[in-house]
Amino acid sequence: DTAVSQTPKYLVTQMGNDKSIKCEQNLGHDTMYWYKQDSKKFLKIMFSYNNKELIINETVPNRFSPKSPDKAHLNLHINSLELGDSAVYFCASSQAPGRDYEQYFGPGTRLTVT
């Protein structure tokens, strides 16, 4: 069974479109995260939810909006896509927030904006 899954795996779209990436975890974790990995492989956290409550909201354009319908899901919606949004987006989850809890990562969604 896949612990953290993301759909779609690949997403190719045009500038100005709106798209969503879905994430689901079956680990029973309370905390979920979204990370962005750029073309130079640099990873940076974007958002985190704990028990459906937003606890990390980094400096991210407000075109990006996370939504957590329940503890097992954290979706990322992106409005008015731009070329610079092209990246790999990783979802992760942990048992709880905090440095002592291992984060489990999904396989990533490669977003290409043309």
Partner 1 sequence: AQSVTQLDSHVSVSEGTPVLLRCNYSSSYSPSLFWYVQHPNKGLQLLLKYTSAATLVKGINGFEAEFKKSETSFHLTKPSAHMSDAAEYFCVVSGSGNTGKLIFGQGTTLQVKP
Whether 54 contacts 66, CB under 8 Å? yes
Question: Is 14 or 41 the residue whose CB approaches partner 1 more closely?
Answer: 41
Within 10 Å of residue 25's Cβ, how many Cβ atoms? Answer: 23
| DSSP, residue by residue, 41-87 | --EEEEEEEETTEEEEE-S--TTEEEEEEETTEEEEEE-S--GGG-E
* Number of CB atoms found within 10 A of residue 66's CB: 21
Q: Applying CB under 8 A, which of residues 41, 59, 62, 83 lies at the interface with partner 1?
A: 41
Q: Which is nearer to partner 1, 9 or 79 (CB)?
A: 9
Region from 11-19, 20-28, 78-86, 102-110 binding partner 1, contact rule CB under 8 A: 102-110
Interface with partner 1 (CB under 8 A), residue from 42, 59, 70, 84? 42
The residues that touch partner 1, with contacts defined as CB under 8 A, are 4, 31, 33, 40-45, 48, 55-56, 90, 92, 94, 96-108
